[in-house]
Amino acid sequence: MRTIFLFLLAIFMVSCGMENKINENNKISKPLPIRDIVIVNTIDSLKLKFQTPDIERIEMGVRQVADFWTSEDGTDEDFQNFCIENFINDKDELDSAFVTIQKNFEVLNGHFNKISLALKFKQHIDEGEMNPLDLMFGGYEPSSNLQSDLFKNKIAFYILLNFPHYSLDEKNTIGDNWTARQWAYARVGDLFSSRVPADLSLEFGDLNNKCDNYIANYNIYMGNIIDNKTNAKFPEDMKLISHWNLRDEIKSNYNAENGLNKQKMIYTIMKRIINQEIPENVINNKDLKWDPAENKVFQNDKEIQFKPEPDTRYQYMIDNFKMLSAMDKYNPFYQTYIDRKFKEEMEMPFEEVEKIFIELLSSEQSKKIGELIEKRLGRKLEPFDIWYDGFKSRSTISDEHLTKLTSSKYKDNIAFQNDLPNILVKLGFTKEKAMYLADKIVVDASRGAGHAWGAQMKGEKAHLRSRIGKNGMDYKGYNIALHEFGHNVEQTFSLYNVPEYMISGVPNTAFTEAMAFLFQQRDMKVLGLANTNEETEYLHTLDSYWSAFEIMGVSLVDMYAWKWLYDNPNANAKELKENVIRISKEVWNKYYAPIFNSKDEEILGIYSHMISYPLYLAAYPIGHLIEFQLEQNLKDKPFGAEIERMTTIGRVTPKDWMKKAVSNELSPKPLIEMAKKSIEYFSNK
Ligand SMILES: [Zn+2]
């Protein structure tokens, strides 16, 4: 232990020494890019080196290396020599390089993942007291230096030189006919798309923490809310975090006493937050009373002066923009954060996602569902009815009864583990496949609500983390456990049974979630209580539609706000605020106002994701649509075999995956069509 520590200290001292020297001489203060003339010379030399040079790959490869090479990596001559010595012109040689890369990335990812799992064990698993040291180890990310190491030892440059990076457009067109091996080559070409300096990454990490903290402490003490007009009263000890709890409280007041007035009050609070008129001192403060309608603050029943929150919400968005756009120049393939989110991460272009959302938002079924909700509520729609949740098909069996069932069945994680093969057989997997899967999944009792942590190399197991109380697994825990189990099955098939390691997985997080929901939806069936009839399906359709309808508008606001930021890079928080509000109202007026009969509502700007997870929101509605299309496809097919077929397609683009999985494009049409049928069913009732 001591020797290791000394060794690390020595390295640290050496690197400090070097930096001082550089600063002293002031020669290499900033790394310089490779000059164009050097690139051209290198390409020419390589063309001469081979009898039948692969000209296209030579040009692309050398330019890719130049995109990332700086004077810190070596001189012009070093660059040229590196390219000439390491470019592979021969196909068989290239394939053997690919095999080495693929094998070693499985080794790296697999082992780093294994270390992370082990270091976070105390943090995740419900076993004994946790102390600060456990948290310190849990927070350590063992692979955090991997990328920069691979640039330093030139492996990254070797890959950039020999494996072209294909744009999303190219993947979606020429990728059509690619074999699994060709896809795997393309994924190697995706490995190094960014080289953000460590200090910038660290700074962004810091900002991220601050944003998380700001959001995590944005609580409203509802017991302190005064409403003189309608007497909407909330429980004394109720503390709601914005926006999640505020939104869910609106949902849970549909059948409550004085519910409508309470919902209206919550919406008033939301508007004060969006407009930043909320008194700064009522946020996360249980000592002051607040009348949101009049916007007055009271201490010991005496009105006091206050300052509104100083646009902090929007300042964080500006800070995020500044930091993320500062990274643009270190991402030669995706030069804006918008492109990195949509084209690189999601692999769906911004415009395509926007088009899909608008198609559903402006479909006439949206208006018809709105009318149906009005009928069910017996009143005109209010803006917050975007969160109407009366289409949830509630079981006729009480939660209590269900908990009795699940907790006696699953007293601990071992009991659930032992039942995995049974569950799979009930879902429609063959006995053989059920054993195969169950053998690769471990069930642990988790501290939190639960999660699924997949393996990253063959030979390792996926972990299903589920909360199991002293009295066994309650129904809610069981329902979540089935969701996580769905993730585990996907993780296992898509690691073990995909033809090439480089394409293990599914296209993006929306696909993983869709898979998990397919399992979660079948929780009653597994308990032997399935009561799916026509009506449940129709209700489920309307519920999916209305959730998609809500979150698509919210996502559009997030997306348009980022477009505006890129067009106005020097904007301040006040200007951003005005424009987010303007965008929220515009999206509302275009797609919601015709249904809700009210104009200029800013409700779509309330989501906290805009501050903490910029541009993440669009993944939710895409997930809804995928789930719906997968569900439709499963209707007349054996569940187990279909899940296996779909999860072994691998990580191709969403477009290609959908074609292979359901012979169709990702589209809102199936949901819109089915919604039409559902509306007809309920109108005739
Ligand atoms: Zn999930």
Which stretch of 21-25, 396-400, 536-540 has the lowest confidence by average pLDDT?
21-25
CB 334 within 8 A of CB 342: no
Ligand 1 center from residue 430 Cα (angstroms)? 24
Contacts of 547 (CB under 8 A, 6+ apart): 621, 624
* Percent of all residues in the chain with a pLDDT value above 90, rounded to a whole number: 83
Q: 419-443 pLDDT, tens per residue?
A: 999 999 999 999 999 999 999 999 9
Residues with CB under 5 A from ligand 1 (ion): 513, 516
Ligand 1 center from residue 506 Cα (angstroms)? 13
Q: What's the pLDDT score for residue 409?
A: 96
Looking at residues 207-234, what average pLDDT do you find? 91
Looking at residues 561-568, what average pLDDT do you find? 98
Is the pLDDT score of 26 beyond 50? no
Ligand 1 center from residue 515 Cα (angstroms)? 9
Contacts of 414 (CB under 8 A, 6+ apart): 443
* Cα distance between residue 588 and residue 598, in whole Å: 9
DSSP per-residue letters across 5-50: HHHHHHHHHHHHHHHHHHHHHTSSSS--BPPHHHHHHHHHHHHHHS
Is the pLDDT score of 28 beyond 50? no
Q: pLDDT-based confidence at 29, cuts 50/70/90? A: low
Q: pLDDT-based confidence at 446, cuts 50/70/90? A: confident
Q: 596-619 pLDDT, tens per residue?
A: 999 999 999 999 999 989 999 999
Give me Rg for the CA atoms of the chain.
28
Ligand 1 center from residue 6 Cα (angstroms)? 43
Chain position carrying tokens 């009561």: 531
Across the chain, mean pLDDT equals 92
Is the pLDDT score of 135 beyond 90? no
Ligand 1 center from residue 558 Cα (angstroms)? 22
Q: pLDDT-based confidence at 230, cuts 50/70/90? A: confident
Q: What's the pLDDT score for residue 531?
A: 65
**For residue 180, which amino acid is it?**
A
Tokens of 548: 């998609």
Contacts of 450 (CB under 8 A, 6+ apart): 464, 465, 466, 467, 477, 480, 481, 483, 484
Ligand 1 center from residue 345 Cα (angstroms)? 17
* Cα distance between residue 596 and residue 439, in whole Å: 52
* Cα distance between residue 104 and residue 88, in whole Å: 19
CB 665 within 8 A of CB 655: yes
Q: pLDDT-based confidence at 665, cuts 50/70/90? A: very high
Ligand 1 center from residue 632 Cα (angstroms)? 20
Closest CA relative to residue 101, chosen from 184, 166, 182: 184
Ranges of beta strands (E only) in 536-592 are: none
Q: 103-121 pLDDT, tens per residue?
A: 999 999 999 999 999 999 9
Ligand 1 center from residue 357 Cα (angstroms)? 22
DSSP one-letter code for 396: S
Closest CA relative to residue 157, chosen from 102, 197, 185, 195: 195
Ligand 1 center from residue 483 Cα (angstroms)? 6
**For residue 469, which amino acid is it?**
G
Sheet of 289-291, strand order: 289-291, 296-299, 302-304
Is the pLDDT score of 1 beyond 90? no
DSSP per-residue letters across 641-675: HHHHHHHTS-S--HHHHHHHHHSS-S-SHHHHHHH
Ligand 1 center from residue 520 Cα (angstroms)? 10
In 120-142, alpha helices (H): 121-124, 132-138
Q: What's the pLDDT score for residue 684?
A: 79
Looking at residues 476-488, what average pLDDT do you find? 94
Closest CA relative to residue 438, chosen from 424, 449, 427: 424
* Cα distance between residue 608 and residue 241, in whole Å: 10
Residue 217 Cα distances to 209, 210, 273, 307, 508, angstroms: 12, 11, 14, 18, 30
Ligand 1 center from residue 514 Cα (angstroms)? 8
Ligand 1 center from residue 132 Cα (angstroms)? 28
Closest CA relative to residue 70, chosen from 159, 163, 152, 192: 152
Ligand 1 center from residue 465 Cα (angstroms)? 12
Tokens of 337: 């954060």
Q: What's the pLDDT score for residue 3?
A: 33
Ligand 1 center from residue 485 Cα (angstroms)? 9
Ligand 1 center from residue 477 Cα (angstroms)? 13
Q: What's the pLDDT score for residue 255?
A: 85
Ligand 1 center from residue 569 Cα (angstroms)? 35
Looking at residues 284-312, what average pLDDT do you find? 95
Contacts of 288 (CB under 8 A, 6+ apart): 224, 279, 281, 282, 297, 298, 299, 304
Chain position carrying tokens 């508008």: 553
Q: What's the pLDDT score for residue 685?
A: 75
Q: How far is CA 118 from the centre of its chain?
A: 24
Ligand 1 center from residue 448 Cα (angstroms)? 14
Q: What's the pLDDT score for residue 268?
A: 97
Q: What's the pLDDT score for residue 532?
A: 65
Ligand 1 center from residue 675 Cα (angstroms)? 25
Q: 493-548 pLDDT, tens per residue?
A: 999 999 999 999 999 999 999 999 999 999 999 999 876 678 888 999 999 999 99
Residue 297 CA neighbour count, 13 Å, CB half: 18
Tokens of 165: 């990076």
CB 521 within 8 A of CB 633: no
Q: Coil, strand or helix: which one is 241?
A: strand
> Is pLDDT larger for residue 77 or for residue 13?
77
Is the pLDDT score of 649 beyond 60? yes
Q: For residues 278-313, b (16+ Cβ closer than 10 Å) or e, as one string?
A: bbebbbeeeebbbbbbeeebeeeeeeeebeebebeb
Which run of H or E residues covers position 578?
Answer: helix 573-587
Is-cis flag, bond preceding 243, omega within 30?
Answer: yes
Chain position carrying tokens 């000439």: 84
What's the farthest any 2 CA atoms get from each other in the chain? 90
Q: 302-325 pLDDT, tens per residue?
A: 999 999 999 999 999 999 999 999
Q: What's the pLDDT score for residue 4?
A: 35
Q: pLDDT-based confidence at 233, cuts 50/70/90? A: confident
Ligand 1 center from residue 237 Cα (angstroms)? 30
Q: What's the pLDDT score for residue 470?
A: 87
Contacts of 679 (CB under 8 A, 6+ apart): 365, 368, 369, 372, 542
Indicate the burial class of 509 (C-beta count within 10 angstroms; 0-12, 13-18, 19 or more).
middle
Q: What's the pLDDT score for residue 129?
A: 86
Residue 461 Cα distances to 412, 454, 652, angstroms: 19, 7, 23
Q: 154-202 pLDDT, tens per residue?
A: 999 999 999 999 999 999 999 989 999 999 999 999 999 999 998 999 9
Which run of H or E residues covers position 220?
Answer: strand 219-221
Q: Are strands 441-445 and 462-466 parallel, antiparallel or unpaired?
A: parallel
Is the pLDDT score of 475 beyond 80? yes
Is the pLDDT score of 397 beyond 90? no
Q: Coil, strand or helix: which one is 397?
A: coil
Domains of the chain: 213-314 (no CATH), 355-392+532-683 (no CATH), 399-525 (3.40.390)
Ligand 1 center from residue 513 Cα (angstroms)? 5
**For residue 588, which amino acid is it?**
W
Ligand 1 center from residue 509 Cα (angstroms)? 9
Ligand 1 center from residue 516 Cα (angstroms)? 6
Ligand 1 center from residue 405 Cα (angstroms)? 24
Ligand 1 center from residue 191 Cα (angstroms)? 25
Q: Coil, strand or helix: which one is 370?
A: helix
